[in-house]
Amino acid sequence: MCFWQKVLPHALFSFRSLGHSPKDVYSMAMFQFSWLFFLLLWHSLLTADTLPPVGASLVVMLATEMRAFFRPEKVIIIASAKARQELPGRYRFQKKLPLYRLFPGKISKWGALRLQPIFEPDRNKEKEIFVQMLKDKDPRFLQRTIKMIIQWERTTYHEEIIHIHGEKDHTIPIKNVDYDYRIEKGSHVMTLTRAAEISRLLNTLLED
């Protein structure tokens, strides 16, 4: 089960998995990958110009990039960053001092399994799902997306993007974020742990 499948029972919208290959992001920058993601959306839905993208984590960053070259009805992002300055310092400094290169994908994946409960203790409410999600990640894809995020260049974003963020997000602290809706005690993984509350807000935003 993924984030959006958990939200679905409470939501008025549908879920589709686009899929990916680790080869898709080989040496790609975020903007380049956003074009690939856009083509996947177009192929899957054939209505990308009216699609209201909703995403979390890396997908949010891709949605911010895509907003530069197509105009959906709405872009709603959850628990992520719209531009480089909203990322925490531990990510930004590695653009000049790329320590992440010292760790292959398998080590990064192992570290995520051990460190996620420390950074985001809220995930223990849905521990089995989170552990399985991390285990399912391809180490090569994980390593390449880490590089993509650290090397992200975007410093501006469209003012109409709707941003939902949790006040207890330890992965991307809210102090760095220009948000529209703050979820009290919400964590970085609140899309799953607070699924009913998040989906009610999404329903309201998508119906407007």
Q: Where are the domains of the chain?
A: 3-207
- In the predicted structure, residue 52 carries a pLDDT above the cut 50: no
Helical spans, DSSP H, in the chain: 3-7, 30-45, 58-66, 89-92, 105-119, 127-136, 139-150, 190-193, 195-207
Q: For the residues 85-101, what does the mean pLDDT come to?
A: 91
- Buried-state track 15-37, b at ≥16 Cβ within 10 A, e below 16: eeeeeeeeeebeebebbebbeeb
Average pLDDT, the chain: 77
Beta carbons of 79 and 188 less than 8 angstroms apart: yes
Euclidean distance between CA atoms 123 and 157, whole angstroms: 29
Q: Which residue has the tokens 């653009």?
A: 95
- In the predicted structure, residue 46 carries a pLDDT above the cut 80: no
CATH topology of domain 3-207: Rossmann fold (3.40.50)
What's the pLDDT band for 48 if we cut at 50, 70, 90?
A: very low
- In the predicted structure, residue 107 carries a pLDDT above the cut 80: yes
What's the pLDDT band for 88 if we cut at 50, 70, 90?
A: very high
pLDDT (0 to 100) of residue 169: 92
Q: For the residues 170-179, what does the mean pLDDT come to?
A: 93
pLDDT (0 to 100) of residue 100: 86
Of 173 and 73, the structure prediction assigns the larger pLDDT to 173
pLDDT in tens, 14-44: 555 555 554 555 567 777 777 777 766 665 5
